[in-house]
Amino acid sequence: MSGNLATTGVFDVEAVRKDFPILQREMNGQPLCFLDTAASSQKPLPVLQAMDNYYRQHHANVHRGVYQLSQEATDMFEAARKAVQRFIGAREEHEVIFTRGTTESINLVASSFGSAFLKPGDEVLITWMEHHSNIVPWQLICERTGATLRVVPISDEGELDMDALGQYLQGPVKILALTHVSNTLGTINPIREIVKMAHQYGIPVLVDGAQAVPHSPVNVSELDVDFYAFSGHKMYGPTGIGILFGKTAWLEKMPPYHGGGEMISRVTFEKTTYNELPFKFEAGTPDIAGSVGLHAAIEYLQGIGLNNIAEHENELLKYGTELLREIPGLRLIGNASNKAGLLSFVVEGTHPYDIGTLLDKMGIAVRTGHHCTEPIMDRFGIPGTVRASFGMYTTKAELDRLAAGIKRAVKLLL
Amino acid sequence: MESINQIQDAIIEEFSFFGDWLEKYEYIIELGKDLPLIDEQYKTEDYLVRGCQSKVWLHANLEDGKVVFKADSDAVITKGIIALLIRVLSGHSPQEILDADLYFLDKIGLKEHLSPTRANGLVSMLKQMKLYALAFQKQLTGKNE
For residues A47 and A296, the answer to whether their CB atoms sit within 8 Å is yes
Query: Does the beta carbon of A368 lie under 8 angstroms from any beta carbon of chain B?
Result: yes
Residues A56 and A167 in one domain: yes
A267-287 CB burial, b ≥16 within 10 A, e <16: eeeeeeebbebbbbbbbeebb
Integer Cα distance of A39 and A20 in angstroms: 17
Peptide bond into A238 cis (omega under 30): no
* CA nearest to B86, candidates B32, B42, B41, B40: B32
* CA nearest to A46, candidates A5, A90, A8: A5
- Inside any domain, residue A16: yes
Q: Using only the alpha carbons of chain B, give its radius of gyration.
A: 15
What pLDDT does A328 receive?
97
Largest Cα–Cα separation, chain B = 53
Q: Is A67 exposed, middle or buried (0-12, 13-18, 19+ CB in 10 A)?
A: exposed
Residues A226 and A314 in one domain: no
B34 Cβ contact list (under 8 Å, min separation 6): B83
Facing B120 at nearest CB: one of A353, A361, A412? A353
Counting Cα atoms < 13 Å in the Cβ hemisphere of A99 gives 24
| pLDDT of residue B73 exceeding 50 | yes
Inter-chain touch B78–A352, beta carbons under 8 Å? no
* CA nearest to A344, candidates A155, A185, A206, A192: A185
**Angle at CA of residue A233, ends A231 and A235, nearest 5°:** 80
CA of A380 vs chain B CAs: smallest distance (Å): 16
Integer Cα distance of A358 and A386 in angstroms: 12
Residues A240 and A275 in one domain: yes
Confidence band of B125 (pLDDT split at 50, 70, 90)? confident
Choosing from A287, A302, A317, the residue where a domain stops is: A302
Number of Cβ within 10 Å of residue A259's Cβ equals 12
Confidence band of B117 (pLDDT split at 50, 70, 90)? low
- Inside any domain, residue A38: no
A112 Cβ contact list (under 8 Å, min separation 6): A254, A255, A256, A257, A281
What pLDDT does B143 receive?
64
Q: Identity (one letter) of the amino acid at B54?
A: S
Residues A365 and A339 in one domain: yes
Inter-chain touch B29–A368, beta carbons under 8 Å? no
Residues A83 and A193 in one domain: yes
- Inside any domain, residue A37: no
For residue A210, what are the domain limits? 49-302
Given the candidates 3.90.330.10, 3.90.1010.10, 3.30.365.10, 3.30.70.380, the CATH classification of the domain at B4-144 is: 3.90.1010.10
For residues A187 and A208, the answer to whether their CB atoms sit within 8 Å is no
Integer Cα distance of A235 and A229 in angstroms: 13
Which domain CATH number covers A327?
3.90.1150.10
Inter-chain touch A353–B26, beta carbons under 8 Å? no
Q: Identity (one letter) of the amino acid at A80?
A: A
pLDDT in tens, A155-175: 999 999 999 999 999 999 999
Which domain CATH number covers A162?
3.40.640.10
Q: Which of A242-246, B12-16, B47-51 has the lowest mean pLDDT?
A: B47-51
| Residue of B81 and A327 predicted with greater confidence | A327
Chain A's closest residue to B73, CA to CA, is A351
Give the pairing of strands A342-347 and A330-332: antiparallel
Chain A's closest residue to B25, CA to CA, is A358
pLDDT in tens, B17-39: 998 889 999 999 999 998 766 77
- Inside any domain, residue A414: no
Interface test with chain A among B28, B54, B113, B114, by most A beta carbons within 10 Å: B54
A403 Cβ contact list (under 8 Å, min separation 6): A320, A323, A324, A326, A327
What pLDDT does A73 receive?
96
Residues A148 and A66 in one domain: yes
Integer Cα distance of B18 and B33 in angstroms: 19
- Inside any domain, residue A43: no
Residues of chain A with pLDDT under 70: 1-9
Chain A's closest residue to B27, CA to CA, is A412
In the set B52, B65, B99, B141, the catalytic residue is B52
Integer Cα distance of B24 and A64 in angstroms: 59
For residues A189 and A160, the answer to whether their CB atoms sit within 8 Å is yes
Interval B67-83 mean pLDDT: 91
CA of B26 vs chain A CAs: smallest distance (Å): 7
Query: Does the beta carbon of A132 lie under 8 angstroms from any beta carbon of chain B?
Result: no
- The three-state secondary structure class of B87 is helix
Inter-chain touch A353–B29, beta carbons under 8 Å? no
Residues A91 and A204 in one domain: yes
- Inside any domain, residue A322: yes
What pLDDT does B45 receive?
82
Query: Does the beta carbon of A412 lie under 8 angstroms from any beta carbon of chain B?
Result: yes
Q: How many domains does chain A have?
A: 2
Give the pairing of strands A148-152 and A30-31: unpaired
What pLDDT does A206 receive?
98
What pLDDT does B142 receive?
79
Residues A11 and A140 in one domain: no
pLDDT in tens, A169-223: 999 999 999 999 999 999 999 999 999 999 999 999 999 999 999 999 999 999 9
Paired with B63 in beta bridges are B66
- Inside any domain, residue A55: yes
Give the pairing of strands A96-99 and A33-34: unpaired
Inter-chain touch A361–B25, beta carbons under 8 Å? yes
Choosing from A302, A334, A353, the residue where a domain stops is: A302
Residues A87 and A220 in one domain: yes
| pLDDT of residue B144 exceeding 80 | no
Residues A129 and A228 in one domain: yes
- Mapping DSSP onto H, E and C, the string for chain A reads CCHHHHHHCCCCHHHHHHCCHHHHCEECCEECEECECCCCCCCCHHHHHHHHHHHHHHCCCCCCCCCHHHHHHHHHHHHHHHHHHHHHCCCCHHHEEEECCHHHHHHHHHHHHHHHHCCCCCEEEEECCCCHHHCHHHHHHHHHHCCEEEEECECCCCCECHHHHHHHCCCCEEEEEEECECCCCCEECCHHHHHHHHHHCCCCEEEECCCCCCCCCCCHHHHCCCEEEEECHHHCCCCCCEEEEECHHHHHHCCCCCCCCCCEEEECCCCEEECCCCHHHCCCCCCHHHHHHHHHHHHHHHHHCHHHHHHHHHHHHHHHHHHHHCCCCEEECCCCCCECCEEEEEECCCCHHHHHHHHHHCCEECEEECCCCHHHHHHHCCCCEEEEECCCCCCHHHHHHHHHHHHHHHHHHC
Number of Cβ within 10 Å of residue B124's Cβ equals 18
Residues A214 and A296 in one domain: yes
Choosing from A262, A287, A302, the residue where a domain stops is: A302
Inter-chain touch A353–B77, beta carbons under 8 Å? yes
What pLDDT does B123 receive?
81
Query: Does the beta carbon of B26 lie under 8 angstroms from any beta carbon of chain A?
Result: yes
Q: Using only the alpha carbons of chain A, give its radius of gyration.
A: 22
- Inside any domain, residue A44: no
| pLDDT of residue B116 exceeding 80 | no
Residues A160 and A287 in one domain: yes
